[in-house]
Copies of this chain bind each other. A is one copy, B any other.
Amino acid sequence: MMKIGELARRSGLTAYTIRYYEQIGLLPVADKDASGQRDYDASILTWIEFLGRLKSTGMPIREMLRYARLRQQGEASEAERRLLLERHRDKVLANVADLQANLLVLDAKISGYADAEQRIETNGQQQRKPLRARHARTL
């Protein structure tokens, strides 16, 4: 129904990447048409999109692979899949918290530069020593 080029366009992956994902087992081995070309059903897009979410939340390919293999084993693996996703979610939550903490520091530093500009704009002659000193220490 859909060859690799169209799937590439629709999924945002390159054809190279799609073949690579099939090769390592992230995507199921595709059906081939009479002349040996991969032929995809639109439903694969849902799976690719989900893989994209795992990837963009920082899951390494090895772990996506674990998930993909569990999925192929059918319903019996649901509990394990759930566990895998829960653990991943917790890592992502921790990561977000970390990013937010670092953002605070970043903003503080940016404010420091903003203050420095203020001093230059409002004052061509004497520099206010205490602020300068604070800035130098922050650097």
In the assembled complex, which residues on chain B have CB atoms less than 8 Å from the CB atom of A50?
Answer: 109
Which one, B103, B113, B116, contacts A92 given CB within 8 A? Answer: B103
Tally of A interface residues using CB under 8 Å: 34
Q: Determine which residue in A96, A106, A107 has the highest number of CB atoms from chain B within 10 A of its CB, and name it.
A: A106
Q: Which of A4-12, A13-21, A29-37, A83-91 is near enough to bind chain B?
A: A83-91
Q: Contact at A92–B102, with CB atoms within 8 Å?
A: yes
Known contacts A110-B86, A113-B78; is A99 also within 8 Å of B102 by CB?
A: no
In the assembled complex, which residues on chain B have CB atoms less than 8 Å from the CB atom of A92?
Answer: 99, 102-103, 106
A residues with a Cβ closer than 8 A to B are 46, 50, 53, 56-57, 71, 75, 78-79, 81-82, 85-86, 88-89, 92-93, 95-96, 98-100, 102-103, 105-107, 109-110, 113-114, 116-117, 139
